[in-house]
Structure 1
Amino acid sequence: MRRSPLLPIFLTVFVDVLGLTLVLPLLPFYAEHFGATPLVVGLLAASYAVCQLISGPILGRISDRAGRKPTLLASQMGTFIGFLVLGSADSLWMLFLGRIIDGLTAGNLTIAQAYISDVTRPEERTKAFGLIGIAFGGGFLLGPAISGFLAHRFGYASPAFGAAALSLTAILLTAALLPAKQPAPAASSAAAPAGAASPAPLGRGNAFRRFFDRPLPRRRLLEFLAFSLSFSTLIGGLALFLERRFAFDVEKTGYLYAFSGLVGGSIQGGIGRLVKRLGEERLARVGFSAMVVGYGLLGVAYDLPTLLLLVAVAAFGAAVVRPSITTLLTKSVGRDEQGAALGVSQSLASVSQIVGPIAAGWLIEHRALAAYGLMAASFAALGVLLGAQKIPAGEPVES
C-alpha cells in the first residue's frame, strides 16, 4: 500500500481541490465587490468553462500520448498562475483574466482520473474513483470554511493567494511523489470492447464522433452531462441564492459548503460497500434521485434546519453519482481511449459550467429563486430517466 500510486494521486488531487474550494465560494462575493450583477457572476464562472471546453479533450489526448505526469504538471502550473492573478485583482476584468488562464490549462481532474484508470482493475475502479470523491469532500469541508474566514477578516484577495500557495504545493507533490506512467500502448481490436472502433488519432471532433456513435459510451456521456448540468446549475447560483434568501455573507456561505463537503466525504468513505450492494448503475440512479429531491425543494426552504437537510440529501446524491458514472464511462471504452473519453466528459462538464451558472445567475437576478432549484433538479431527473433505459439487445456491457 505504501507503494500504491493512488496515495500520491489522492494527495495531489486533495491539495488541488482544496485550492479550488478556497476560491469557489469567494468568487460571487469578490465579483459583486467590483460591481458585478448576478448574471455577470454567472458569466465569470462561464469564462473559465469556455476555456476548459477548448483545452479538455486536447489535454486528455496529450496525456494519452505524452504521459499523465508531465501533462498534469503543466495543468497545475496554469492553475497556480491563475490564482496569483485573482489575488492581485483590482478590477473585474482581472478576475476574468485569472479564470481564463486557469481554464485554458484546466485538466487536473481529467488527467488524475485517467491515471487512476491506468493503474486499477475495472472491478476496483469505482472505489479508486471514490478517492477523488473523498478529496472533493475533504476539500469542500476545509476549503470553503477557510476561505470564508480569510475573506471576512483579511479581504477577498487572501483566499486567492492561499489557493496559489496550495497549487504550488500540489505541483511539488506531483513532481516528487507521483510515479511516471508510460502512455498505454494502442490496444488491439481484440482487446477493445466489442463494437469499439480501432484506435486512431483523435481530435476533439473525432473524439466526440467516436464515442457518440457507439450506444454505450454515448449513454454514459449523456448521464455525465445530466449530472454536470445539475451540479453546475446548483453551484453556479448557490452563493447568490443564500445571500438573497438567508442573508448569508461569504463566511456563512463557506461554512455551508463545508457542511456539504463533510457529508460528501463521509459517503465516499463507504462507497465501495455501496457499489457491492447496488452496483454502479443502481447507485447512480439512487444518487440522481437524491439530487432531484435536494435541489428541487430548495424553493421551499426558509429556515436553516430545512436548508441543511436538503443540502445533506443533495450532497449524498452528488457524492455517489460522480464516481459511479465515471467508472461506467471508463468501462465502456478501450483502455487506450480512456484519457480521450474522460477529456470528452470534461468538455461536457465545461458546457455545463457555461450553461448552469449563466442560467442560475439570470434566474436569481430576476428573483426566481424557486425556479433556480427546480432547474437544477430537472437536469438530475434527466439522469434518472437515462439510467432507467435498457441497454439495447446486442450492445456489449462494460467489462
Structure 2
Amino acid sequence: MKKSPLVILFLTVLLDLIGFGIVLPLLPTYAKDLGASPLMIGFIAAVYSSMQFIFSPLWGKLSDVIGRRPVMLGSILLASISYVFFSQATTIPLLILARGMSGMGSANIAAAQAYITDVTDSQGRSKAMGMLGAAFGIGFIIGPLIGGFLKTNFGIEMVGLVAAALIGIDFILAIFFLPESNKEAIKISQLFTQKAISGPRQSVVALVSSKVSDYTQSVNDAFSSRPIAMLMTTNFIFTFGIVNMQIASILLWKEFYLTSDQQIGYLFAYVGFLSVIVQGGLIGKLNKILGEHKLFTWGHILSFIGVFFIPFVPQSNLFSIGLFILFFFAMGTSLVNPINISMTSLYSYNKKQGQIMGLAQSVNSFARILGPFSGSILYGINHKTPFIVAGILMIIGTVISLGLFKYDIEALEPAAESVNA
C-alpha cells in the first residue's frame, strides 16, 4: 500500500495547486470589478497566505493526535467547498470568506509531509518529498491555462465550479485509497471519552508556552550566526519583493496591455513551465559549474531584470519583449528560492537545524502575507512603482548575497556547533 497513498498525496497537492493556479491570475481584476480598492485587493490576496500560515501547523499537530487521514479528508473537503463559495462570490465579503476557507483547506501540506514520513524509509523520503515539489510546478502550469480559458469563455462562476469539482474528485479518491498512516493516532470516537479529553485540555497552556519558547530560541539561534541571519534577511526581502509585484503584474497586464484573462493564464503557465525546467534538473548542473554562492547571486541579478523592466515593455510587444523579460524572472526565482533553503540548511547547526528551517519557512510566509498589501497600495500610487520597489529589493538581496562569499561553510560549522552544543 506504499505507492497508492503517495499517488493520492501527489494528486492532493497537484489538484490543490491547479485550483490555486486557476484563481490566482483572475483574483485581482475580479476583486477590482467588485469594487475593491487597492488596499482591499491586497487584503483579499493576503487572506489565503494568512490562513495557511495559521492553519498549517495546526493541521500538522492535529494529524499527530487524530491521524493523517481525517485531517487530509477534512481539509480537502473544505478546499472544495471554498471554491463553490468562490463561484458565487458576487460581493467582497463573500470573496474574502472563500479565499480564507481555501487557505485553511490548502494548509494541509504539513499533514501531507507527515504522511510521507510515516510511509517511507529514509532512502525513499527525499524522492517522495520531491514528488510533492513536482506537483507544485505542474499545478502552476495547468491551473492558469484552465482558469484563463474558463473565465474568457464561461465566466467566473465556472472557474470556481471546475476548481471545486477537481478537488472534489480528489476527496472521493482519498476516501477509498488513502489509509491511515499514523498508528499512534487516537480514534475520533475516543476523543469524546473523558480520558481522551482531559489530557489535551490540561496541556494546552504548557503546549502554547513551549511553542513560544521554541520560536524565541529559534530566532536567537538563527540570528546568532551572521550567515544564517543574512540568509533569513534575503529570504524575506526576496519573497516580499516578488509577491509585491505579482498582484500588480496582473492588474498591469489587464489594464495597460489590455490582455485577456486567457492570455494572462498563458503568461503564468510560461513562467511555471520554465520554473519546472530549472528546478527539475538544470539547477543541479548549474550548481556543479558555478557553486551555490555564485548561483545565489546570479539568481538575484536575473530576478532584478525580470521584475524591474516589466512595466517598461512597449505596449505592443508584451508577447515578444515581455516574454523575454519573464524568462529572466522565471530563471531568477527558480534559482534563489531552492538555493536559499539549501544554504540555510548547510549553515545551520546540526542540533538546531529543524528549528532554524522552521523559522525560515515562517519568514517566507510572513513576507507572502505582507507582499500583497504593499504591491496593491504601490500600484494605486503608480502602476510602475511596485516593480521599481521590487527591483530595488533585488539589488539589496544581491549585495547581501555577495557578503556570504566570505563565510566558508566547512570552516564555520564546527565553531557553530561548539557554541550551541
TM-score class, shorter: 0.7 to 0.9
Residues 344 and 77 (structure 1 numbering): CA distance in 2 closer, same or farther, change over 3 Å? farther
1:325 pairs with one of 327, 334, 340: 340
1:139 shift after superposition? 1.8
Q: How far apart, in 2, do the equivalents of 1:230 and 1:334 lie?
A: 30
Give the match's secondary structure for 1:163: helix
Deviations 1:237-278 (A, max 9, x none): 221121233122322211111111111122232157337625
What does residue 387 of structure 2 align with? 373
2:308 pairs with one of 296, 310, 324: 296
1:77 shift after superposition? 2.9
Residues 335 and 86 (structure 1 numbering): CA distance in 2 closer, same or farther, change over 3 Å? farther
Q: Which moved more, 1:63-72 or 1:315-324?
A: 63-72
1:96 shift after superposition? 0.8
> How many percent of aligned residue pairs carry the same amino acid?
29
1:205 pairs with one of 197, 204, 212: 212
TM-score normalised by the chain length of structure 2? 0.76
1:29 shift after superposition? 2.2
Deviations 1:27-71 (A, max 9, x none): 112212212233321121122233333323433444566655544
2:328 pairs with one of 306, 313, 326: 313
Give the match's secondary structure for 2:416: coil
Residues 73 and 316 (structure 1 numbering): CA distance in 2 closer, same or farther, change over 3 Å? farther
Amino acid at match of 2:216: R
Residues 224 and 78 (structure 1 numbering): CA distance in 2 closer, same or farther, change over 3 Å? farther
- Within 5 Å, which residues of 2 pair with 1:108-187? 108-113=108-113, 119=120, 125=126, 130-177=130-177, 180-182=180-182
Residues 258 and 121 (structure 1 numbering): CA distance in 2 closer, same or farther, change over 3 Å? same
Q: How far apart, in 1, do the equivalents of 2:182 and 2:351 lie?
A: 13
Give the match's secondary structure for 1:44: helix
Q: Max radius of gyration: which structure?
A: 2
Segments of structure 2 that go 5 or more residues without pairing to the other structure are: 185-205
- Within 5 Å, which residues of 2 pair with 1:13-24? 13-24=13-24
1:385 shift after superposition? 4.4
Segments of structure 1 that go 5 or more residues without pairing to the other structure are: 185-199
- Any conservation in 2 of the 1:50–1:354 contact (CA below 8 Å)? yes
- Any conservation in 2 of the 1:293–1:314 contact (CA below 8 Å)? yes
Q: How far apart, in 1, do the equivalents of 2:254 and 2:161 lie?
A: 24
Higher RCO structure (Cα 8 Å, ≥6 apart): 1
- Any conservation in 2 of the 1:274–1:283 contact (CA below 8 Å)? no
- Within 5 Å, which residues of 2 pair with 1:1-399? 3=3, 7-63=7-63, 68-113=68-113, 119=120, 125=126, 130-177=130-177, 180-182=180-182, 205-215=212-222, 221-271=232-282, 273-274=284-285, 277=288, 282-302=294-314, 303-304=317-318, 305-328=320-343, 332=348, 338=354, 344-369=359-384, 371-387=385-401, 388-389=403-404, 390=407, 394-396=415-417
Q: How far apart, in 2, do the equivalents of 1:170 and 1:29 lie?
A: 29
1:22 shift after superposition? 0.6
Q: How far apart, in 2, do the equivalents of 1:76 and 1:322 lie?
A: 27
TM-score normalised by the chain length of structure 1? 0.79
Give the match's secondary structure for 1:362: helix
Q: How far apart, in 1, do the equivalents of 2:135 and 2:71 lie?
A: 20
Q: How far apart, in 1, do the equivalents of 2:34 and 2:179 lie?
A: 43
Q: How far apart, in 2, do the equivalents of 1:77 and 1:174 lie?
A: 10
1:383 shift after superposition? 4.1
Q: Which moved more, 1:131-140 or 1:148-157?
A: 131-140
Amino acid at match of 1:301: V
Residues 287 and 349 (structure 1 numbering): CA distance in 2 closer, same or farther, change over 3 Å? same
Q: How far apart, in 2, do the equivalents of 1:288 and 1:120 lie?
A: 36
Higher share of residues assigned helix:
2
Residues 142 and 362 (structure 1 numbering): CA distance in 2 closer, same or farther, change over 3 Å? same
Give the match's secondary structure for 2:89: coil
Give the match's secondary structure for 1:246: coil
Q: Which moved more, 1:380-389 or 1:32-41?
A: 380-389
CA RMSD of aligned residues (A): 3.7
Q: How far apart, in 1, do the equivalents of 2:365 and 2:336 lie?
A: 18
Residues 47 and 170 (structure 1 numbering): CA distance in 2 closer, same or farther, change over 3 Å? same
